[in-house]
Amino acid sequence: MRITKRTNIAIRVLMYCAAHRGRLVTKHEIASVCNASENHLAQVIHQLALMGVLSTQRGRKGGLELAREPKDIEIGEIFRAMENGVPLAECFADVDNSCPLVDACRLKMALQEAAEAFYSRLDAVTLDSLVCGNTALLGILAPDRCGDRADNAVP
């Protein structure tokens, strides 16, 4: 299974915001640290805001921040929303019905069950568990803040 670029960027955005709790962050700073285009970021940020995961503020002193506590953000929820509408296999979205097996294929159900197991496993992973105490990650995302705490944990 391969996740889309949107999902990958969404997780980077959330981790960056979690590493910078207590202040608004900008799309520009996320783009430079997380190696993502600002155009892709804008689309992902909009979707995360619609989900109620991010709060955004427009204007000169605007930016974005987590709308929920990191412990309350399940990674499975993010993956489901970002991957929604993306077929697991190309035959699932075969609009011209070129596969003659579609109507009798049992693989589709097995793959759907496997995908749900994958998402269910990610439901047990929170944003907090990805970021809190992860010194290596915080050193990349917030090097200026890492030295401030003995345990390098995000508040």
Contacts of 43 (CB under 8 A, 6+ apart): 6
What is the C-alpha separation between 24 and 13, in angstroms, rounded? Answer: 12
* Tally of domains within the chain: 1
Q: Is residue 155 part of a domain?
A: no
Handedness of CA 141, 53, 78, 35 (dihedral sign): negative
Q: What's the predicted TM-score (pTM) here?
A: 0.84
Q: What is the pLDDT of residues 104-125, one digit of tens each?
A: 888 888 888 998 999 999 999 9
Q: Is residue 154 part of a domain?
A: no
Q: Is residue 101 part of a domain?
A: yes
CATH of the domain at 123: 1.10.10.10
Q: Is residue 142 part of a domain?
A: yes
Q: What is the pLDDT of residues 86-106, one digit of tens each?
A: 777 777 666 666 778 877 888
What does the DSSP 8-state code read for residue 93? G
Domain that holds residue 126: 5-146
Q: Where are the alpha helices (DSSP H) in 20-103?
A: 27-34, 38-50, 75-83
Contacts of 53 (CB under 8 A, 6+ apart): 14, 66, 67, 68, 73, 78
Judged on CB neighbours under 10 Å (0-12, 13-18, 19+), 22 is exposed
Q: Is residue 138 part of a domain?
A: yes
Q: What is the pLDDT of residues 24-63, one digit of tens each?
A: 999 999 999 988 999 999 999 999 999 999 999 998 889 9
Q: Is residue 91 part of a domain?
A: yes
Paired tokens of 34: 């997380």
Q: Is residue 152 part of a domain?
A: no
Amino acid letter, 126: T
Among 118, 122, 145, which residue's Cα sits nearest to residue 134?
Answer: 145
